[in-house]
Structure formats: C-alpha cells, structure tokens
Amino acid sequence: MAGTGLSGAASLAGVGTTPFSRDSGISTTALACRAVLTALDDAGLGIGDVDGIATHRVGDSSPPWVVGPALGITDPAWHLDQFGGGGVSHAVIGQAALAVAAGIADVVVCYRAINARSEFRMGGQGRAPAGAFDLQYQAPYGLLAPVQHYAVPARAHMQAYGTTHEHLGAIAVRQRANAAANPRALKRDPITLDDYLASPWVSEPFRLLDCCLETDGACALVVTSAERARDLRRPPVDIAAAAWAGGHSTYSPPAPGGLGDDLTTSSAARLAPRLYAMAGLGPDDVDLAELYDCFTWTVVVQLEDYGFCRKGEGGPFAASEALGIGGELPVNTHGGFLSEGYVHGINHVAEAVGQLRGDAGPRQVDGAEVALSTGQPGYVLAGTSALLLTAGR
C-alpha cells in the first residue's frame, strides 16, 4: 500500500538518551547537549552536519536558541521552539520531517530535556498555577495537576463502560514487567496487582501506581531524508506517517456533538484515520505500540481510539495477555512513562526506533516492522500528535 503526503520522505537516523534519574544534578541545557551529541554519534554524524534544531517545552527547559549555540550550531536553517507538553511531543518530529521533506533542512536534531523531578514538577507543588485561558476555570477549584485533569475522563470512562481498577492495574503491572528487561528504566522491581491496589490514592480513580514517574533526563532524535539515512551508520527507521489533531474542549465545543461532549473519547479518534491513511496502513499492520501513558488510563482510551479494539472494550483488552511482549500487540515495551521514566513523549519514539532496528535486547518484539508511537491524546493543553514508523530497507 502506497503512502501519501509526508509518507516515506524522512527517517530517524539516530537516537540519544541521557541516564534517567530523580536528580540529574545538571542543567536542562547540559542534558539536551548530551542527548543531542549521543544521537549524532549514533547516526554517524557531527555537529557540522546539523542545520535544524527543534524542541517542545512548557517554560521548563532550555530552548533551541540556547542549546544550538551551546553546541556550536549558531545559524540553523530551520528551528522550532514549540510550546506545549506531551500533545506536541510527536508533532515536533513530524514538523522536522516536514522541514526535511520541503528541502529547508537536511539534518534536524529534535530533543526534549527536563528536570521534571528536581527542578520543575508538572503538578506545580506550590508554584502559582498558570491562569492562561481556560485554566482560569479550573485552577480556582484546586484542579491544578495533570493527575487531576486525567482523573476526570478516566472516571467518566469507568462509569460509561465499566472499566475497572483491575484493568488499570494490569497496565501498571505489565509495564513494570517490561521495564525489568530495560536497563534504562527507573523502576525495574516487579509489582503485583495487590501492590497496585494497595498503593495510595492520589486523585481518584488514580493511585500512585497509575502515575508516570517524575523524571530528570533527555532524549534526542536525528531526522534526515530517507535517502540520506540509508548512507548512515545505523539501519534507518522511516516516518511512514505523521499526523496532528485538535484537542478536546473540556468546556463548550463549537457545536453539539463535538468531541467536547464526551470525555470518554480522545482526540486520537480523529487523528488515527489521518495517520493510517497517510501510511497506507491500518491497526492490523501495527506490530507494537508505544502509547502515551502519563497515567494508566490513557492507554485504555488510545487502544480504543487507534482502532485496536471497540469503544468501551479498552479496559478488558488492556488487561489481556495480548499487550505483553510476544502478544498480538505489545504496548509500552520499555515500561513506558510509568516505569522507564517520563521524558514527556520522546522516549516512546526512542523505544520504537530501538525495536524497529532490532536493538531492544530481551524485550525485543519478534519481527517488528511497524510501530505506532503517540503523544498525549489531547486532553490538556489541547492537541495531539503521533507517528507511524517502519523499519527501513
């Protein structure tokens, strides 16, 4: 099946990660530089080859106009300092691919660098809440932290479809088991469903073990043309599709029947058809999925909205053996944000690249040819993005 649009124009040629920790002890600028240099070395490229640099951030990290000059990249032909969180994590790479496809840049480094435990915690932790735009209608009620924002649609989904705590727990347990085979993961000790059910409430229906790990760390990816990627050091991973979708209004959608009517369906339901159409692929072609897991429940809703099961069946499907390594659809093979660490989206792409190269060691998915990697599905700082990646030949 032939792709359309951006399909096949650009590839991921290099991956770099720093160690993940709760206290990196270094600046986000330093984290970004280390990840970028590691990714370039992986690709067999040098700073002199780089003519594009991109990131996303929410006021918590070092921008391209600091990281670039810090590495001697003083005049990039293309750059992007994207505002936003996990919803735009995959958009950054998609936009880099657009720049490459348009001939504006040849080699783009995309990074995300955060000290999300030691410096800037997403939940605020006493920091004055941002009042911008629609958050002014939530912050005065103590609705301040991401765990609270996602708890509301999760609760609605449980009420509408009978999704259970045990379904959510199965996700946490499996991803921890996956992380045991991942030396980069912050949490590698196995947990049981009883451990999950005994973990303390944070914001119902979420317990501590429903939440991703506040993490210090950085990842970087090198985006270049599919043609050039084939001359570089490592096997290329091709961007078969990149897609974007608008987010979820939690207030009044423009018309009755809009997505804002129903919290139990995410923006991924609108993105997925575009993504699959661009790649000329469908859900049945996907060999593994790295699904944005800021909280367990976002895996459930994305299993439904990316077409892997019917609406309302995401809970039982998530709890089934199908999602394990060796199952029909391995999900979050590195342990995800719940157990590997949370680099705000980009470490999902790093893992997908490793799997498609056959580099994943004991957690390698046999015959991995097509991987889905997704951003936050559009509930907060609304908007979503995702990539379909294929092993290059």
Partner 1 sequence: MNRTQSLRQDVRDQDGRRRDGRGAAAPRPRPGADRDSAYWWEAVGEGRFLVQYCADCRTPRFPAREVCAVCLSLEWEWREGTGTGTVDGWTVTRRTFHPAFEAPYTVLRVALDDGPALYCWGRLVGADPGDLRRGQPVEAVFTDTGPAPGAGAPTGGGAFTKVVDWRPRE
Q: Note the residues at the interface with partner 1 (CB under 8 A).
A: 123-126, 128-145, 148, 151-153, 155-156, 159-160, 200-206, 250-258, 260-261, 263
Q: What order do you get walking across the sheet with 52-57 strand by strand? A: 78-83, 52-57, 107-115, 216-225, 10-17, 237-245, 384-391, 370-374, 288-290
- Taking the alpha carbons at both ends of the chain, their separation in whole angstroms is 16
Q: Check: CB of residue 54 under 8 Å from CB of residue 64.
A: yes
CA–CA distance, 193 with 22 (Å, rounded to integer): 25
Choosing from 150, 196, 342, 379, which is the catalytic residue?
342
CA–CA distance, 79 with 351 (Å, rounded to integer): 24
Q: Check: CB of residue 338 under 8 Å from CB of residue 304.
A: no
How many degrees, rounded to 5, is the angle at CA 212 between CA 370 and CA 385?
45
Least Å distance, CB 161 to partner 1, is: 12
Least Å distance, CB 255 to partner 1, is: 6
CA–CA distance, 386 with 174 (Å, rounded to integer): 23
Least Å distance, CB 146 to partner 1, is: 10
Residue closer to partner 1, measured from CB, 134 or 194: 134
Residue closer to partner 1, measured from CB, 2 or 132: 132
Using the structure block, give the residue that is written with the tokens 């996303």. Answer: 56
Least Å distance, CB 198 to partner 1, is: 14
Least Å distance, CB 164 to partner 1, is: 16
Residue closer to partner 1, measured from CB, 140 or 362: 140
CA–CA distance, 375 with 385 (Å, rounded to integer): 5
Residue closer to partner 1, measured from CB, 131 or 362: 131
Residue closer to partner 1, measured from CB, 235 or 312: 312
CA–CA distance, 162 with 160 (Å, rounded to integer): 6
Choosing from 111, 150, 276, 292, which is the catalytic residue?
292
Residue closer to partner 1, measured from CB, 45 or 147: 147
Q: Check: CB of residue 349 under 8 Å from CB of residue 12.
A: yes
Least Å distance, CB 208 to partner 1, is: 9
Distances (CA, A) of 49 to 76, 113, 116, 228: 10, 21, 30, 12
Residues recorded for the chain: 393
137 is catalytic: no
Using the structure block, give the residue that is written with the tokens 């067999």. Answer: 44
Catalytic residues: 292, 342
